[in-house]
A and B are shown apart, each in its own frame.
Chain A
Amino acid sequence: MTAPNGSMPRALAVALMLALPAHAADYLAEAAAMIKRDFKPRGIATMDRVVEDAVQAICNRSRDNPPKEIGQRLEQDQLAAVRWPADGKLLGDWRSGERIAQSGRGMTWSDSASAPGGGSCYNCHRIGPQETSFGTLGPSLHQFGKIRGYGPDVQKYAYGKIYNAKAYNLCSQMPRFGHVGALTEQQIKDLVALLMDPDSPVNK
């Protein structure tokens, strides 16, 4: 149906536009055109970023409540595009994962392309018990493995969710860290370990 970064299928776009009151669609179109006019590229933040991909377009047009069937099909597309580690190992080093979870760096126009990015995880989630400065935009991940079990399915879910949260919930507020290249395969493995290693403080 769509490539992960491809444009929205025409029929789908038309269906969605028709589902909206005409004036709302006009204002959205005007807003998008205004943004394209007013923004300029800076550093790594290039102008392609203000052009919606298929997932963003559908979430924007449904205020994050896509029609069920469309939502599920696009979730499948997102899941199909997840690149799983070739060595089949999903568990990295939880200590490194903790550092990645702490770092809010990455992908802004003031970040450099070469510096390693972070996962910004603590911005939104409670994770390790010793970090009291955590956000609440996302659910608590404290005792993630202890609660859900340490099995391969849960490992795979954790990897996939960090790689592309939209594969599981199309209009999730969580970024698609692997999908957009904000985190490397090794970084995601390390984050999975932070959540899933029985020795990680998260599971103590």
Chain B
Amino acid sequence: MRRSARLPAAFLAAALSVPAAAQQPAAPVVNDPTTAEFEKFRAVLEADNPAELFEAKGAELWKAKRGPKNASLERCDLGLGPGVVKGAYVRMPRYFADVGHVMDAERRIVHCMVTLQGFDAAELAKRPFSSDTRTPDPVALVTYVAGESRGMKIAVPQQHPKERETYEIGREIFFYRAGAYDFSCASCHGEDGKRIRTQQLPNFTKPEQAVRSVQGWPGYRMTGGVMHTLQWRMWDCFRQQRFPEPGYVSDTVTALLTYLSVNASGHVYNGPGIKR
């Protein structure tokens, strides 16, 4: 990783320099003050993106012989052939013939950890999300794999019938209103130009806005200062939707990510990023 050695110091410096930077109107022009401040903060941070620390850790984990089978992930097939990481992230979720269904990036990586390295799937699902004291291995691995698609066009395949079916089911999940508040994903993300408080809400049914469901993820989240993947994002959305808890790397999450990522296809992915 090109800058990983000096990153912590640079990151700290960037964080400390924010008040000064905030006085300069360098960031993109936005209407509400909270978003404007955040965008300035992000602009400062992105010069030394903290996500790169996790990419570096993921790259090490990818190559290391680990698990009960003492194997690396270098034979893991992310859809472009065993060991091909470059460009794989922007082409998932996709159909995998060896398992007979569609998998998203994190699900596929976990699948490889289980089949190639012998890790226990149930154990990995127990505490799958980052906290301030711990970043689970799949999070770092997904961040590494995602970084290897930086600057590439999102091109989630829809050739296989299972891929098209998964997209259609994902769309129904997106619009499925239930729970104590009658919310679906579309309650917040189905209209143009809406906000919750000051948070602007992309309309994920529109291709030009759907890219915002992929862009910046995996993301270093400033709320809490931890790295999160799209698995976490979907999980926390369902929490706020007042639903019960979705299973980690479950069919539901894969289908939803398929719907969002296909809608986002055609746009260039900027790599792991920073989120509010």
Contacts and interface: CB of A to CB of B under 8 A. Distances in A.
A45 B243 contact: yes
A123 B102 CA distance: 35
A52 B197 contact: no
A28 B180 CA distance: 20
A45 B196 contact: no
B34 interface: yes
Contacts, number: 130
A39 B246 contact: yes
A56 B178 contact: yes
Nearest to A37: B251
B247 A40 contact: yes
The interface size bin for chain B is 35 or more
Interface string A93-118: 00000000000000111100000000
Contacts of B252: 34-35, 37-39
A137 B196 contact: yes
A78 B242 CA distance: 21
Interface stretch (B11-19, B165-173, B214-222, B223-231): B165-173
Contacts of A39: 238, 243-247, 252
B196 A135 contact: yes
B194 interface: yes
Given A49-B244, A59-B177, 20 more contacts: A27-B171, A28-B176, A31-B169, A32-B176, A37-B251, A39-B243, A41-B244, A45-B244, A47-B244, A49-B179, A56-B177, A56-B178, A108-B239, A134-B197, A135-B194, A136-B194, A137-B196, A137-B201, A173-B187, A180-B181
Interface of A: 23, 27-28, 30-32, 34-35, 37-42, 45-47, 49-52, 55-56, 59-60, 63, 107-110, 122-124, 133-137, 166, 173, 175-176, 180, 182
13 contacts: A23-B168, A28-B176, A34-B252, A39-B243, A39-B245, A45-B245, A49-B243, A50-B243, A59-B177, A60-B177, A63-B175, A137-B195, A137-B201
